[in-house]
Amino acid sequence: MNVSRSAGVVGASIDSTAVQGEAPRAAKANPQMQAVLDQLATLGATSVEGLTPHEVRQQPSPADAVKALLEAQGRSTAPEAVSTVDNMTVPGPDGPVAIRVYTPAGTGPFPVILYIHGGGWVLADLDTYDASPRALANAAQAVVVSTHYRQAPEHPFPAAHDDTWAAYAWVLAHAASINGDPRTVALAGESVGGNMAAAISMTARDRGLQMPVHQLLVYPVANHAFDTPSYREHANASPLGRAGMQWFFRHYLTRPTDGDDPRVSILRAATVTGLPSTTVITAEIDPLRSEGEMYVKRLQNAGVDVWHYNYDGVTHEFFGMGAVVDKAREAVRIAALRLNAAFGDASRTQPPPATGDGMSVVR
Question: Which are the catalytic amino acids?
Answer: 191, 286, 316
Nearest to 287 by CA among 213, 226, 202: 226
Nearest to 359 by CA among 316, 330, 332: 330
Query: Is the distance from CB of 200 to CB of 212 less than 8 angstroms?
Result: yes
Q: How many CA atoms lie within 13 A of 279 on its CB side?
A: 26
- Paired strand residues for 208: none
Query: What count of residues does the chain have?
Result: 363
d(CA 353, CA 168): 32
SS3 356: coil
45-66 burial: b if 16+ Cβ within 10 Å, else e: bebbeeeebeebeebbbbbebb
Dihedral-angle region of residue 118 (phi above 0 means left; psi in -120 to 50 means alpha; beta otherwise): beta
d(CA 326, CA 33): 9
- Written as one string, the DSSP assignment of 120-158 is TTTS--TTTT-HHHHHHHHHHT-EEEEE----TTTS-TT
State how far Cα 220 lies from the chain centre.
6
SS3 183: strand
d(CA 126, CA 24): 38
Nearest to 242 by CA among 196, 289, 188, 174: 289
Nearest to 34 by CA among 216, 285, 242, 208: 285
214-249 burial: b if 16+ Cβ within 10 Å, else e: bbbbbbbbbbbeeebebbebbeebbbbbbbbbebbb
